[in-house]
Chain A
């Protein structure tokens, strides 16, 4: 059959607005989650992480929320800036301490 390329969902926001990027994870055994930002031509950059004994963690302009009941993770970016434009990946550890399982990513576009 014909192969289909990876289609990234895209979130477009106005500069200054808040952004929310969502991620559904697959493994109920996962107890560690992490968000990465990847700008064009660069490697993934660590943003923030959270363990399963927490449901919220805040960083500088970013907040990660974890809902273990529905296996959902979200990244909130406050006052989105043009420099926030990138692809954002969530990752889970699948209950293992050694490997991360990456999602397919969401592209964030910030409109000036």
Chain B
């Protein structure tokens, strides 16, 4: 299995631009999670989906952040407009059941 796939691996953009992060979960996994990791706050859960339906988005910081899962093999996390404080590593993880999560390699986002 290829594992969780994320793209792009690195993104550098200017403040105010739209950023779209992509994730392909492991085939057959019903749960998908988006996390953000920073030195200041560690690993934070932003949102998770079950069978393509958003279940808990309480970790999404602001309305500038949105996430979708149009089908079982694809999810996006969008930031519009981006700000320098959004700079972080964004991870996608998937799970075949309710607990054990398998992480992707992350997208390193830098907003100038």
Q: Enumerate chain A interface residues (CB-CB to B < 8 A).
A: 3, 5-6, 32, 34, 36, 42-46, 49, 89, 93, 97-100, 102, 104-105
User: Beyond A34-B99, A49-B99, is A99–B48 a contact (Cβ under 8 Å)?
Assistant: yes
Q: For A44, give the chain B residue with the smallest CB separation.
A: B103
Q: How far is the CB of B86 from chain A (nearest CB, A)?
A: 16
What string of 1s and 0s marks CB contacts (under 8 Å) between B22-52 and chain A?
0000000001000000111111010010100
Question: How many angstroms from the CA of A44 to the CA of B42 in the assembled complex?
Answer: 12
Question: Which residues of B, 38-76, contact A by the 8 Å Cβ criterion?
Answer: 38-43, 45, 48, 50, 55-56
Determine the interface band of chain B, counting residues with CB < 8 A from chain A.
Answer: 20 to 34
- Quick one: given A102-B42, A102-B43, are A34 and B100 in contact (CB under 8 Å)? yes
Chain B residues 79 to 100 lying within 8 A of chain A, measured CB to CB, are 91, 93, 98-100
| CB-based contact A42/B106 at 8 Å | yes
Q: How far is the CA of A32 from the CA of B98 in the complex (A)?
A: 10
Q: Is the CB of A6 within 8 A of B106?
A: no
Contact check, A98 vs B56: say whether CB atoms are below 8 A apart: yes
